[in-house]
């Protein structure tokens, strides 16, 4: 279609439009005439013809005078496709000539001029001049990509014209490369600029930029050399003697005293100000660099630059300098002061409106928080800042930020995220340094990838004598890689590790002379030494353990960071394992797990799981060890750590079935005086009135412990006992060996002595320390099995006797006294009652056997009686629940039978009446001013009560609006609600938040007194007190039924509301609220078909906003949406009763009008005048907008809606062609 329109242009207009296409999407008519070599009148006629063919459109008034734009970029492409390459180049050259002649030397016009000059192939000297001017403007405007492209074009033009490049050109080119993170090119340009520059102060400024580049490339020594030379050239050399510290301290004191202009604050000006600014920039780079080198005297000298900062006064340099000082303070551990200063100077940076300063403030704040240990928060902030503000950050700071983010992810074990941020082109980065490439390779291998070949990487590392810190960092990363490849195999940490550690030690670093994040090396070294000690045997083990302990002591300074503190705790646990103290290791691991969870460090959590499994395995607790290993394997699988998961499976055999149960050990309790004579009376009296078998068992065991002075008492029954027996409750600890019941014995109940454990014992072994007698899996299973098999009681008076009886548990757990007796159950399989003690041998005697046998019989009788009572209660409860379930099923069916939200509550309550008797229903909501209003009524309530205000009930119903269920009873104080003549006594109020968008309450009331008890089915209030709804009101079964019914109603209400919303959304235009095209056509068709037989005239109007595309192009689509919304509102206000309006799409509306041509025309004029007479208020200010209207009346010979809309559309086209802003009516 566009090509046909272009082909329809006159041969004299086409060249002009092609030149316009070469200019750009928008163009000035005067410039077009000059560039095309035609008269202004010729250009005007060509544009008029193009507008007629809907190829171009004038830019709306207020944007720029006499400017035009293409309706779409496809038009430009179609026009440019008709020009040859030479023709296009000539046009660009003509455009550049015209623009330069018109004085286009500022702002966007300058960049456009340079681009046309490049595309037009202008002579090299002129091209150099234009592109250099544009490049320098782009550098000043922080448009580095544009600047680098223009500088490159200028350099090529200078080479062709044999023009020598000066220092300013090389400096600008270097800055552009630096800001697009191409440090190697930036370094080369700054080096050439230094060769060409003779002014000392300018050279000092260049030294600052070069130092930043070198620092970002990890060349810390080279950066320090640039800073030292720069300060010397600025006239502020660093003293080369021991006096550097005292001099720096004196400068800081002077700076602290400088707070007002009278003392020198902000008084620098002219050449002095320029020198101070250069010096301050050198101090910024030098201070950070000295911190990495841990050159304390030099660092103090740069901190002394605070004096220079005060002389400059409050400015962006002042803010930037303070932000960097805060970062250094965080490294030194000044947490509270740093956080407060971060907030202060971040706010000041925002006030400047400088995005570069804001980006630097954000990144340095992240560094400071990372030094303070807030790793989780920092990673999110760093990632967001890097994505948002990369263009505003210089290369050195950008490199530090990417490195900090990668190290954060790496140390925490978030290797997927770390690998993503180190991929080429991530955050705009297209290179990676040696240490980062090693880190990236390690993370890739940990995730199951191949990783990068590191031989070329290591070949590019500078010699240690040149860059000791950088070489140290590389060694650190290589050691980490070696340990990661070794995995859980301690024997794999060997010669390579020793060689790398020796290489790192040659660099002369110590933890106290390294920044906090570099101290991780000493943790890695200690980990390797501990693994070597763990793998060693014999005398070598002792030697290696001694070396490992020394390395662990040297790693203590690394605990300054919480993340590394967690690592250190794991290492201490490994050291305890190597020393043969696994219990102490478990305590260190518990502390490490707390830190790793808080810091979101899955790497450390994995280490905790593995080391805990090893400790538990060494303690003989294979089951618990396996559980910890499974946790480690699950974490490795979830994180994609292929190698680590494989190592865990191999070491702990997780693919095989477990061959042992978790075992625990108990602690020694206190002995008590035994009371035997009244045992039977005590137990009988204690169990009187208890109908729950579990409660009976608990009472009996408690009394037995008290009578016999035991530590623990356990009750066990066969696992497959019928459900009517007490052994129906399954549990752990099944007895191995022969049993005579229907299944292995399982724990039914257990108690410990009150002074040893004040609470009930769990039914599974949960203690990880195995130092508590509450571990139920540690009983003597062989003794229990023997008693169960033989049916006779058994007493064990010592560990030796237990061993003789074949009980390993008695020996391993140190159970010195054991007593067990069978528990007969009438009509069921017998169980066993078991008591033990670790206090002393011979605690239980034959007399105690008789007591326990008697108590065991009583236990059997009590349990059988309680079980029978519970069965009867259960049957009654199940019958009531079955009846309730049937009613609730009917409630659910009724709730799902309607899709009208207004019908849901009525249907649900009607279905629930059998279990929720009620006569009256109110739905109340609480709006502004705490007034309670009736919004819906059902039952016998007068419908006129809807909308009434509830008086004198706020104090009673208030808790229900707060989420509580409250109720009244016949004995309580009555309340009055609108719509019923008498006060309510038996009522229930429940919160119904899901049924209304505001706090709402449903009140159910009955006129009949409660029957069947306070909470019977005949009543509602439950246990309300006489004075009103008591604290127990609404807590009975009836209230629970009501809540279930309302929950069902709420679900159905949500479904109905969602359906109504979906139906409304499908039929409504989301922007204007008018019916959309489909819904309008459906409604209009029905309405038109209904009017035709009644011989009622019907018309249609089509409304279109004039030049709406210009509004979008000039002000944006958001403003265009505001215009459409306001026009829709004005159209609605012009409609009469029976008229129907809709939005057909874009800026086009339609109205179905009741009446003939004159009525339709009058409506069209009302709409047109309503739009054009009053400006539309938008966020861009008031806009004058007009509409064109076309109307038509239904023809009896062609009565379809499509026909009348087509005729109205033709009238609309006529209105547009006649000049817009008018109404045209098609006459029959």
Q: Residue 578: is it exposed, middle or buried by C-beta count within 10 angstroms (0-12/13-18/19+)?
A: buried
Residue 689's pLDDT is what? 61
Least confident range from 792-796, 864-868, 1114-1118: namely 864-868
Mark 810-819 as b/e (b = at least 16 C-beta within 10 Å).
beebebbbbb
**Percent with pLDDT over 70 in the chain:** 80
Contact between residue 1092 and residue 1152 where contact means Cβ atoms under 8 Å apart: no
Mean pLDDT confidence for 371-389:
80
Residues found in the chain: 1228
Q: Which alpha helices (H) appear in 555-690, and where do they start and end?
A: 562-578, 582-598, 602-618, 622-639, 642-652, 679-687
Mean pLDDT confidence for 1091-1099:
77
What tens digit of pLDDT does each residue of 791-821 get? 888 887 654 555 445 445 544 455 567 888 8
Q: How far apart are CA 971 and CA 985, in angstroms?
A: 7
**Straight-line distance from the first to the last Cα atom of the chain, in angstroms, rounded to the nearest whole number:** 33
Q: How far apart are CA 756 and CA 768, in angstroms?
A: 17
Asked whether the CA dihedral 516, 517, 521, 526 is positive or negative, the reply is positive
What tens digit of pLDDT does each residue of 425-436 get? 555 454 556 667
Residue 982's pLDDT is what? 84
Residue 245's pLDDT is what? 67
Residue 685's pLDDT is what? 64
Mean pLDDT confidence for 1125-1151:
91
Mean pLDDT confidence for 36-48:
90
Phi, psi of 1141 (to 5 degrees): -120, 155
Cα distances from 90 to residues 19, 81, 85, 121, 812, in angstroms, run 10, 15, 9, 8, 98
Cα distances from 343 to residues 315, 322, 333, 641, 1208, in angstroms, run 17, 12, 17, 39, 63
**Pairing state between β 1176-1178 and 26-28:** unpaired
Residue 1024's pLDDT is what? 37
Q: Closest Cα partner for 541 from 575, 498, 566, 584?
A: 575
Q: How far apart are CA 561 and CA 1208, in angstroms?
A: 75
Q: How far apart are CA 1193 and CA 1159, in angstroms?
A: 10
Residue 1027's pLDDT is what? 34
Q: Give the count of beta carbons closer than 10 Å to the beta carbon of residue 469.
A: 21
Distance of CA 695 to the CA centre of its chain: 47
Q: For residue 559, give the DSSP letter.
A: G
User: Average model confidence (pLDDT) for the chain?
Assistant: 78
Residue with tokens 């299973």: 781
Least confident range from 88-97, 370-379, 494-503: namely 370-379
Between 616 and 456, the more confident residue is 616
Between 240 and 299, the more confident residue is 299
Mean pLDDT confidence for 222-236:
89
Between 21 and 346, the more confident residue is 21
Residue 997's pLDDT is what? 59
Least confident range from 588-597, 877-886, 998-1007: namely 877-886
Q: Per the structure block, which two tokens stand in for 809?
A: 């548990």
What tens digit of pLDDT does each residue of 880-898 get? 777 777 777 777 777 677 7
Q: Give the count of beta carbons closer than 10 Å to the beta carbon of residue 973.
A: 14
Q: How far apart are CA 30 and CA 42, in angstroms?
A: 11
Between 773 and 647, the more confident residue is 647
pLDDT band of residue 842 (cuts 50, 70, 90) is low
Q: Per the structure block, which two tokens stand in for 40?
A: 């202004």
Rg, Å, the chain Cα set: 44
Strand segments, DSSP code E, in 927-984 are 932-939, 966-968
Residue 803's pLDDT is what? 46
Asked whether the CA dihedral 877, 882, 883, 889 is positive or negative, the reply is positive
Contact between residue 1015 and residue 982 where contact means Cβ atoms under 8 Å apart: no
Q: Closest Cα partner for 822 from 860, 796, 848?
A: 860
**Percent with pLDDT over 90 in the chain:** 19
Residue 826's pLDDT is what? 66
Residue 663's pLDDT is what? 30
pLDDT band of residue 929 (cuts 50, 70, 90) is low
Least confident range from 238-252, 398-412, 962-976, 1080-1094: namely 238-252
Between 424 and 767, the more confident residue is 424
Between 352 and 845, the more confident residue is 352
Residue 736's pLDDT is what? 35
Q: How would DSSP label each residue in 303-321?
A: HTTHHHHHHH-SSHHHHHH
pLDDT band of residue 848 (cuts 50, 70, 90) is confident
Between 356 and 900, the more confident residue is 356
Taken in order of first residue, the domains within the chain and their CATH numbers are 1-83 (1.10.10), 95-198 (1.25.40), 220-313 (no CATH), 486-652 (1.25.40.10), 679-872 (3.30.450.40), 901-1063 (3.30.450.40), 1068-1225 (3.30.70.270)
Q: How far apart are CA 516 and CA 367, in angstroms?
A: 11
Q: How far apart are CA 1119 and CA 1148, in angstroms?
A: 17
Contact between residue 97 and residue 106 where contact means Cβ atoms under 8 Å apart: no
Q: Closest Cα partner for 119 from 16, 55, 24?
A: 24
Q: How far apart are CA 641 and CA 449, in angstroms?
A: 10
pLDDT band of residue 970 (cuts 50, 70, 90) is low
Contact between residue 26 and residue 66 where contact means Cβ atoms under 8 Å apart: no
Q: Closest Cα partner for 559 from 549, 568, 550?
A: 568
Mean pLDDT confidence for 121-127:
91
Residue with tokens 């004198």: 952
pLDDT band of residue 537 (cuts 50, 70, 90) is confident
Mean pLDDT confidence for 12-39:
90
What tens digit of pLDDT does each residue of 613-654 get? 999 999 989 889 999 999 999 898 888 888 888 888 888 888
Cα within 13 Å of Cα(145), Cβ side: 3
Residue 585's pLDDT is what? 92
Residue 735 has pLDDT above 60, yes or no: no
**Pairing state between β 966-968 and 1140-1145:** unpaired
Helix/strand/coil percent split, the chain, to 5 = 60, 10, 30
Q: How would DSSP label each residue in 483-509?
A: HHHHTT-GGG--HHHHHHHHHHHTTT-
Residue 732's pLDDT is what? 33
Residue 20's pLDDT is what? 92
Q: How far apart are CA 175 and CA 187, in angstroms?
A: 10
pLDDT band of residue 1222 (cuts 50, 70, 90) is very high
pLDDT band of residue 1190 (cuts 50, 70, 90) is very high
Mean pLDDT confidence for 41-56:
88
Phi, psi of 1001 (to 5 degrees): -140, 140
Residue 1034 has pLDDT above 60, yes or no: no
Contact between residue 380 and residue 365 where contact means Cβ atoms under 8 Å apart: no
Distance of CA 709 to the CA centre of its chain: 56
């Amino acid at each position: 279609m566009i090509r046909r329109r272009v082909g329809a242009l006159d041969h004299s207009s086409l060249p002009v439009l092609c030149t316009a296409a070469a200019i750009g999407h928008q163009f000035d008519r005067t410039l077009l005439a000059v560039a095309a070599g035609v008269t202004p009148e010729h250009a005007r006629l060509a544009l008029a013809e193009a507008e007629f063919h809907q190829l171009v459109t004038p830019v709306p008034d207020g944007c720029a005078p006499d400017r035009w734009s293409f309706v779409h970029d496809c038009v430009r492409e179609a026009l440019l496709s008709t020009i040859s390459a030479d023709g296009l180049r000539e046009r660009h050259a003509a455009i550049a000539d015209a623009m330069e002649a018109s004085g286009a030397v500022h702002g966007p016009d300058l960049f456009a001029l340079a681009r046309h000059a490049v595309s037009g192939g202008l002579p090299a000297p002129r091209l150099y001049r234009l592109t250099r001017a544009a490049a320098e403007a782009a550098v000043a405007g922080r448009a580095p990509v544009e600047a680098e492209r223009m500088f490159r074009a200028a350099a090529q033009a200078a080479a062709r014209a044999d023009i020598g490049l000066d220092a300013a050109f090389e400096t600008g080119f270097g800055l552009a490369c630096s800001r697009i993170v191409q440090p190697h090119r930036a370094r080369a340009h700054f080096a050439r600029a230094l060769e060409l520059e003779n002014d000392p102060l300018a050279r000092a400024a260049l030294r600052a930029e070069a130092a930043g580049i070198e620092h970002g490339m990890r060349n810390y020594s080279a950066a320090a050399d640039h800073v030292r030379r720069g300060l010397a050239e600025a006239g502020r050399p660093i003293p080369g003697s021991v006096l550097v510290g005292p001099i720096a301290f004196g400068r800081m004191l002077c700076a602290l005293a400088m707070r007002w202009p009278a003392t020198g604050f902000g008084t620098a000006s002219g050449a002095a100000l320029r020198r101070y600014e250069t010096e301050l920039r050198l101090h910024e780079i030098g201070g950070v660099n000295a911190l990495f080198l841990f050159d304390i005297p030099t660092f103090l000298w740069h901190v002394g630059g605070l004096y220079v900062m005060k002389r400059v006064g409050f400015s962006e340099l002042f803010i930037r300098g303070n932000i960097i000082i805060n970062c250094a303070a965080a490294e030194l551990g000044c947490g509270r002061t740093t956080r407060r200063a971060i907030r202060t100077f971040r706010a000041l940076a925002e006030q400047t409106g400088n995005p570069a300063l804001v980006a630097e403030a954000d990144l340095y704040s992240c560094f400071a928080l990372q030094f303070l240990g807030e790793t989780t928060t920092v990673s999110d902030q760093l990632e967001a800042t890097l994505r948002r503000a990369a263009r505003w950050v210089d290369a050195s700071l950008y490199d530090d930020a990417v490195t900090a983010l990668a190290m954060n992810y790496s140390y925490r074990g978030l290797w997927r995220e770390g690998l993503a941020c180190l991929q080429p082109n991530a955050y705009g980065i297209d290179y990676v340094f040696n240490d980062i490439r090693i880190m990236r390779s390690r993370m890739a291998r940990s995730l199951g990838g191949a990783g990068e070949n590191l031989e070329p990487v290591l070949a590019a590392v500078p010699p240690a004598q040149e860059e000791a810190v950088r070489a140290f960092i590389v060694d650190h990363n290589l050691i980490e890689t070696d340990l990661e490849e070794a995995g859980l195999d301690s024997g794999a940490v060997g010669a390579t590790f020793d060689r790398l550690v020796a290489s790192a030690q040659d660099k002369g670093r110590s933890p106290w002379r390294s920044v906090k994040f570099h101290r991780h090396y000493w943790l890695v070294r200690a980990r390797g030494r501990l693994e070597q000690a763990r793998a060693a045997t014999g005398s070598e083990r002792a030697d290696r353990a001694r070396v490992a302990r020394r390395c662990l002591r040297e790693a203590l300074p690394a605990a300054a960071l919480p993340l590394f503190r967690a690592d250190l705790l794991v290492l201490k646990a490994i050291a305890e394992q190597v020393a043969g103290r696994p219990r102490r290791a478990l305590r260190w691991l518990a502390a490490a797990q707390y830190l790793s969870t808080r810091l979101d460090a899955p790497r450390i959590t994995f280490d905790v799981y593995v080391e805990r499994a090893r400790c538990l395995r060494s303690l003989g607790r294979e089951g618990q060890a396996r559980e910890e290993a499974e946790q480690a394997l699950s974490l490795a699988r979830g994180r994609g750590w292929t190698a680590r998961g494989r190592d865990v499976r191999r070491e702990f055999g997780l693919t095989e079935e477990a061959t042992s149960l978790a075992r625990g050990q108990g602690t020694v309790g206190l002995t008590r005086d035994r009371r035997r004579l009244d045992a039977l009376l005590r137990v009988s009296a204690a169990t009187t009135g208890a109908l729950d078998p579990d409660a009976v068992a608990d009472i009996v065991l408690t009394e037995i412990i008290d009578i016999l002075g035991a530590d623990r008492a356990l009750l066990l029954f066969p696992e497959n006992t019928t459900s009517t027996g007490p052994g129906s409750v399954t549990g752990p600890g099944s007895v191995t060996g022969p049993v005579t019941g229907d299944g292995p014995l399982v724990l039914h109940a257990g108690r410990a002595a009150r002074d040893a454990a004040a609470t009930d014992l769990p039914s599974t072994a949960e203690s990880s320390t195995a130092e508590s007698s509450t571990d139920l899996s540690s009983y003597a299973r062989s003794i229990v099995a023997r008693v169960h098999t033989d049916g006779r009681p058994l007493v064990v008076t010592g560990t030796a006797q237990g061993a003789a009886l074949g009980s390993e548990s008695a020996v391993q757990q140190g159970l010195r006294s054991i007593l067990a007796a069978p528990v007969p159950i009438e009509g069921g399989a017998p169980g066993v009652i078991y008591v033990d003690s670790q206090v002393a041998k011979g605690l239980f005697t034959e007399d105690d056997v008789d007591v326990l046998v008697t108590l065991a019989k009583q236990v059997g009788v009590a349990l059988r009686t309680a079980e029978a009572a519970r069965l009867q209660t259960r049957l009654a409860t199940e019958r009531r629940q079955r009846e309730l379930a049937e009613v609730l099923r009917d409630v659910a069916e009724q709730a799902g039978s309607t899709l009208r939200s207004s019908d849901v509550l009525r249907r649900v309550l009607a279905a629930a009446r059998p279990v929720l008797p009620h006569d009256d229903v109110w739905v109340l909501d609480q709006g502004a001013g705490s007034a309670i209003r009736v919004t819906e009524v059902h039952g016998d309530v007068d419908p006129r009560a809807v909308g009434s205000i509830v008086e004198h009930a706020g104090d009673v119903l208030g808790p229900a609006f707060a989420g509580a269920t409250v109720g009244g009873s016949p004995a309580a104080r009555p309340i009055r609600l609108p719509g019923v003549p008498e006060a309510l006594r038996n009522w229930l109020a429940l919160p119904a938040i899901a049924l209304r968008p505001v706090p709402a309450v449903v009140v159910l009331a009955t006129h009949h007194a409660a029957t069947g008890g306070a909470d019977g089915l005949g009543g509602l209030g439950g246990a309300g007190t006489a004075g009103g709804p008591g604290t127990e009101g609404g807590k009975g079964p009836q209230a629970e039924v009501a809540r279930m019914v309302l929950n069902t109603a709420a679900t159905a209400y949500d479904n109905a509301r969602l359906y109504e919303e979906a139906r409304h959304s499908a039929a409504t235009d989301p922007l204007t609220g008018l019916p959309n095209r489909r819904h309008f056509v459906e409604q209009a068709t029905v309405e038109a078909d209904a009017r035709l037989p009644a011989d009622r005239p019907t018309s249609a109007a089509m409304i279109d906003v004039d030049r709406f595309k210009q509004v979008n192009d000039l002000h944006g689509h958001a403003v265009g949406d505001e215009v459409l919304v306001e026009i829709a509102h004005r159209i609605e206000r012009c409609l009469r009763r029976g008229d129907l309006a809709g939005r057909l799409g874009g800026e086009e509306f339609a109205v179905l009008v009741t009446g003939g041509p004159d009525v339709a025309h009058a409506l069209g004029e009302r709409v047109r005048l309503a739009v054009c007479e009053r400006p539309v208020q938008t966020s861009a200010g008031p806009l004058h907008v007009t509409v064109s209207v076309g109307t038509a009346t239904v023809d009896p010979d062609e009565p379809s809606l499509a026909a009348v809309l087509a005729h109205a559309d033709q009238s609309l086209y006529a209105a547009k062609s006649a000049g817009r802003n008018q109404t045209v009516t098609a006459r029959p």
